[in-house]
Structure 1
Amino acid sequence: MEVESLRNKSGKTMEEQPGGSAANVFKRRRRCRNICFGVMGVLILIIILIVILALTVFKAKRPVTTVDSVSLANLRFSLDLARLKVSLNASLDVDLSVKNPNKVGFKYTNSSAQLNYRGKQIGEVPIPAGKISADKTVPMNLTLTVMADQLISDSKFISDVSDGELPLNTFAKIPGKVNILNLFKIHVVASTSCDFIVFLSNASIGDQDCKYKTKL
């Protein structure tokens, strides 16, 4: 009776059925293969979308550093030509602004601004690390104290003082990075260099010429 119960009307056992376990295994494999292909397709679409966003909306743009103003403060100057003795104390107020045109924040590390006279550094001020939000501009007010000994030791200083004009330069370099979608970290270095003349007679500044550079 048990043998007969395992047989269907055609006289075949379940293992002998044409739609038995082998067909079910094949169907399961095909279903798994289709699911895998579907998941891979979705992942590929996501990757393509991320790449498109990274190259368009979130494309890394160059931060722009601008010198808004330069002014001379606390100038104390005296010249004794008979003794070839010069006394000079001064500080320079430099107003910088850094604009982040990216759609993500720009983080910058510790850096500094320098004051130079004929290629020689005569002053420096630190710029602490910080962050600039997307599409924002951050002002930086810097005060550079002139190192008089470095300035006076230059052989051309007496001649410039006699003419009443000091050719100076400010240089600021701000390194940082832009993090796009937490996937791409783009390193950026924004710098600005300004040449100008200090007129000793009235402590004014003129002939200012600034150059800006950004390196990705």
Structure 2
Amino acid sequence: MNGFSIKSDDKKEEKPATAMLAPAPKPNASSMETQSANGGSGKKVRRKRNCKICICFTILLLLLIFVVILILAFTLFKPKRPVTTIDSVTVDRLRASVNPLLLKVILNLTLNVDLSLKNPNRVGFSYDSSSALLNYRGQLIGEAPLPANRIAARQTEPMNLTLTLMADRLLSESQLLSDVMAGVIPLNTFVKVSGKVTVLKVFKIKVQSSSSCDLTISVSDRNVTSQHCKYSTKL
């Protein structure tokens, strides 16, 4: 008897392996909050740093501008003292008479004073109102108003003033009789101008200029025989 041998194929059909991808983990809510918080804080830090840089730059720029203004103010625009000059003094009217019984002098006197005010600055000079004074042996006997005004840069303003003797000021002056009898009257004219110079529209510097002239008036000739002036300026 012929034997049969049945061969069984134990080999099973191999199935292709399918690669299984692990699902991506879902973002955690707490980690998202942490990342957003870190991003927001970083932006705040950068914003603060930029603000500090801008502030520092602005301060440096302002300091630089201030230094430049100071340099210009004390070099190119350095304030200079105005000069008041009495150019001439003339007798407009003079009448003197003596009453020998009363030992009294009747004196009428008017002087014309030509003066000039020079502004040597590169900017305008504004001065306040003042007066030109006429003195006799230290006593005020007449004055003329000097209105406030402004002089342009590097300009000279001429002025003409009239000083008239106020007769009542000499009623008690005992030396006037001897001066009139001697034929000469000593007088003094004084002008003082005060104002300010504004440099670059920022710095306001006060300045002052004055002039004082000693005069000798001839009674017979009715004119000024001598004139000696002194000038002073102050910042």
> What TM-score, normalized to structure 1?
0.86
Q: Using a 3 Å threshold, how does the CA distance of structure 1 residues 156 and 3 change in structure 2: closer, same or farther?
A: farther
Q: Using a 3 Å threshold, how does the CA distance of structure 1 residues 197 and 38 change in structure 2: closer, same or farther?
A: same
User: Map of 1:1-216 to 2, 5 A cutoff?
Assistant: 16=35, 20-81=39-100, 84-216=103-235
The 1-side partners of 2:229 and 2:67 are apart by: 41
Shift, 1:70, TM fit: 0.4
Q: Deviations over 1:145-187 (max 9, x none)?
A: 1122323531111111111110100011112111222222112
Q: Deviations over 1:70-122 (max 9, x none)?
A: 00112122234455343221200011111111122111111101100000111
Number of residue pairs the alignment of both structures matches: 210
Equivalent residue, structure 1, for 2:7: none
Shift, 1:137, TM fit: 0.8
Q: Counterpart of 2:57 in 1: which secondary structure?
A: helix
Q: Using a 3 Å threshold, how does the CA distance of structure 1 residues 140 and 13 change in structure 2: closer, same or farther?
A: same
Q: Which has the larger radius of gyration?
A: 2
- Whichever residue aligns with residue 117 of structure 1, its letter is Y
- Whichever residue aligns with residue 157 of structure 2, its letter is V
Contact 2:73 2:199 in 1 (8 A): yes
The runs of 5 or more residues in structure 2 that have no matched partner are 1-22
Q: Which has the higher strand share?
A: 1
Mean Cα deviation higher: 54-63 or 162-171: 54-63
The 2-side partners of 1:140 and 1:98 are apart by: 8
The 2-side partners of 1:205 and 1:16 are apart by: 100
The 2-side partners of 1:2 and 1:70 are apart by: 110
Q: Counterpart of 2:205 in 1: which secondary structure?
A: strand
Q: Counterpart of 1:182 in 2: which secondary structure?
A: coil
Q: Deviations over 1:6-60 (max 9, x none)?
A: 79xxxx979659x944544443333332222221111110010111111112222
Report % sequence identity.
50
Q: Counterpart of 1:47 in 2: which secondary structure?
A: helix
Contact 1:190 1:215 in 2 (8 A): yes
- Whichever residue aligns with residue 162 of structure 2, its letter is T
